[in-house]
Amino acid sequence: MIPVFTTAIMGVLIGLAGRVIMPVKDSGGILATAVLGICGANLTASIGWLSGLWEVGSLIGYGAGAAGAVAMLVVYRMFSVEEA
């Protein structure tokens, strides 16, 4: 259960960092960005854990979770940026 929480915390941090690094006008706020980070991190890490690509709580799983969170945020920004 601990890896789920640590991956969620990592997703929140990545989401907030993405908001700071790339501040754009989009329909979601800080909460939406944090939730997208959590979803991306947990989804990517869980898929790898369930498919047997890495062990639960391994460093590669957290790295994949971070990559998944970034990917989800990028895709969200591609489709949600409002034209000024």
Tokens, residue 21: 């690094």
Domain boundaries along the sequence of the chain: 2-18+29-79
pLDDT of amino acid 51: 92
pTM for the complete prediction? 0.76
End-to-end CA distance of the chain: 43
Each residue's pLDDT, cut to its tens digit, for the chain (84 residues) gives 667 788 888 888 887 887 777 776 666 777 888 888 888 888 888 888 889 888 887 888 888 888 888 888 888 878 876 655
Whole-Å CA distances, 57 to 13, 29, 77: 18, 30, 29
Whole-Å CA distances, 73 to 55, 56, 58: 25, 24, 23
Q: Are 52 and 35 in contact (CB under 8 A)?
A: no
